[in-house]
Structure 1
C-alpha cells in the first residue's frame, strides 16, 4: 500500500491543480477544473483518503467532471516512476512494449488473401517498435486486402501513426495537425514518402476494426484513414480522446496527465474528442473481423485480379470453399 499523509494529499491536489491551470490545452477549462479541485479539497472530499491509488481515482473523477476529457487524470502507478516530464509514461511504455511483441501481437493471412495486422495495446514510439512494426507491415504488403485490428489499441505516438500510414498511401499525405498550447504553434503530420521494404499501398481494400476501447492514437489512425477515404471502419464507436497529453510526476506513484494539445483534421478541421469515431459498419466488436473479412472478400472477388487469392475469394463466396479460416491442405 502506498500510504499518504494529509499534508501529502494537499500538496498533490494543489500541484495537480496548478499543472492543469498552466498546461491544459483549453486555458479557460484548465482554470475552471483547477477551481473544482480547490473547492473539493477545501470541502474535505479527500479527507478520508489513505493511499495513492484511492486519491488518484477520486481526483481523476473530479478532473473529468468539467468537460469529460478522459486524457485528464491523476494516474496511479503500482511501481515508482521517475520524477521527470513523461517519465512515468516512458517507464510504462517500456514495460508494455516488452510484453506485447512491440505492439504487433498478430499478423495473419485469412482465406482469400486477406491479411490481418493487429496493433495493440499501444502504437509505441518508433525507438521501441520500428523493427517489429516494419516487419509486420512488410509481411502484409502483398495481401489482396488488409484488416487493421485496432479494437484493443488505447494510445500511442502520432509519429508512429504517420509511419504506419506511409505503408497505406502511395504518396505523402497530410494526416493530422496538432495545436500545442504552450508554443501556440501547429505541427503537421504527413505520411513519409519512403518506407523500408514493400508497402501495401494506397489502392487495395483496407478495413479498420474498432471498439469502445479504441482510444487516442488508435483513434487518430482510424480517423485519418476514414477522413481521407482510405478505409472503412467496422465495429463500434471509439472512446473519444483527441487531446494528446504530457505526464508530470506529482508523487512516486502518481502521474498528473495533462492534455496539452488538440488534433485538427486537414479534411474538415474536426477531431474525435468526446464524440468518438462512428464506424461505417456497426457491429459488435467480436463480430467485426468476420464482417470486414466477408466485405473484403467481395471486393477481391469482384476485381479483375487473376491471382490465386482472388480465385480463392470467388470460391468462398460461391460456397465451394470450406470456410473463412486459415487452414490449408498439406503438401
Structure 2
C-alpha cells in the first residue's frame, strides 16, 4: 500500500528584523557557556558591533534588498558570516552558527540529534565497512561519525567483536567528523587490555574536572592491547574522531597514518536559535594524561604522513611487515 508523505513545513523567512534576536541569543549563550569567558566577552562585543554596522543584513540576492523568498540562502549566509566572526579570535572550530537545511527542533542538543539520525540509519549505525584484507589484517571503518553510544553500542560492539579475531587491525577515521566521547571510550575498551585513563575534561570556570576511562569490561572478546593497530586520518577527521586517534597514539597503542586532522578538542553543546540555525558553544577543554595537552588548533599529527587516499595502502603494508617481523 502506498501512502502519501507528510507535507513539509514551509521555510521560515529570515527577515532583517529577525536577525537581531538570533545574534542576541547567540551572544547570551556564548557569554554564559563558552569555556574561555574572556574570549566570550571579546566575541560578544564583536558580534554586537557587527550587527550595529549592518554586517549581518540579509541581502542574499545581491540587489541591496533583503531576499525574503530564499530562506535557505539567507540563513546560510548569516551562518557563514557569524561563524567567521566567532572563530576570528582563537580559531575554535567548534564555535559556530550552524545552518540546517531541514527545520530542527528546539531544545539543548536536539538540533544535532535530529540532523544526524539519517546518517546513523544509512551507515549501519556508524560502521559502514568491515573487511578482511590480505594477510589476516582487518579493516574497520567508523563513520561518518561516532554516534551517541545509546544508539551505536550494538553496532560498534558487533563490529569490534568480529575484528577481534584478526591478526592486525586498521581503523579508518578519514571521513569521521566527530561525535560522542563515550563512544570513543567504548571503542578504546576493545583495543586495550585493561581499564585506562584516556582524557580529562576541564569544564568552564576551572572548578570541575571529569576523567574519561576506557571500560573495564566490554561485550564480547577484545582485539586487545598487543596486536598491531593502525589508525587512518585525513583533513576531515574531527573532534571525537581526533580524540580516538590521539588517545591511542599518546598511549603508544596505535600508529597513525595519513594526514593531519582538523584540530577541534573542545567538547560542545548546541542550541536552536532559529528553525534552521543552531549555535554550538564549547563548554570544556580536553587534557590528555600523557601529553598534558590536546590537539586543539594543531590537529593530530600522523606518525606516518601520507595523502589520505593512500593511507590504507600504506597502513596495510606496514601491518603486513610488522606481522612478518613478529613471526620471525
Alignment of 1:167-246 (within 5 A): 167-181=190-204, 184-246=207-269
Alpha-carbon distance between aligned partners in 1 of 2:277 and 2:206, rounded to the nearest angstrom:
26
- Given that 1:2 and 1:53 are in contact with CA atoms closer than 8 Å, whether structure 2 keeps it comes out as no
In structure 2, what is the equivalent of residue 59 of structure 1?
Answer: 82
RMSD of the alignment, in Å?
A: 1.2
- Given that 1:23 and 1:182 are in contact with CA atoms closer than 8 Å, whether structure 2 keeps it comes out as no
Task: Compute the displacement of 1:190 (Å).
Answer: 0.6
In structure 2, what is the equivalent of residue 106 of structure 1?
Answer: 129
Q: Does 2:69 align with 1:46?
A: no
Alignment of 1:249-328 (within 5 A): 249-304=272-327
2:132 alignment partner, SS class: strand
Task: Compute the displacement of 1:90 (Å).
Answer: 1.2
Alpha-carbon distance between aligned partners in 2 of 1:45 and 1:227, rounded to the nearest angstrom:
44
- Given that 1:36 and 1:62 are in contact with CA atoms closer than 8 Å, whether structure 2 keeps it comes out as yes
Q: Does 2:34 align with 1:11?
A: no
Task: Compute the displacement of 1:92 (Å).
Answer: 1.6
Alpha-carbon distance between aligned partners in 1 of 2:149 and 2:301, rounded to the nearest angstrom:
28
Please, what TM-score do these two structures have when normalized by structure 2?
A: 0.91
1:97 alignment partner, SS class: helix
Alignment of 1:105-184 (within 5 A): 105-181=128-204, 184=207
2:190 alignment partner, SS class: coil
Alpha-carbon distance between aligned partners in 1 of 2:278 and 2:231, rounded to the nearest angstrom:
32
Structure 1, unpaired ranges of 5+:
306-331
- Given that 2:15 and 2:58 are in contact with CA atoms closer than 8 Å, whether structure 1 keeps it comes out as no
In structure 2, what is the equivalent of residue 37 of structure 1?
Answer: 47
Could you tell which deviates more after superposition, 270-279 or 183-192?
Answer: 183-192
Alpha-carbon distance between aligned partners in 1 of 2:56 and 2:115, rounded to the nearest angstrom:
27
Alpha-carbon distance between aligned partners in 2 of 1:182 and 1:153, rounded to the nearest angstrom:
30
Structure 2, unpaired ranges of 5+:
1-10, 60-66, 68-73
1:218 alignment partner, SS class: helix
Task: Compute the displacement of 1:183 (Å).
Answer: 7.9
Alpha-carbon distance between aligned partners in 2 of 1:184 and 1:71, rounded to the nearest angstrom:
22
Alpha-carbon distance between aligned partners in 2 of 1:152 and 1:127, rounded to the nearest angstrom:
22
Task: Compute the displacement of 1:130 (Å).
Answer: 1.1
1:71 alignment partner, SS class: coil
Q: How many residues align?
A: 305
Task: Compute the displacement of 1:3 (Å).
Answer: 2.2
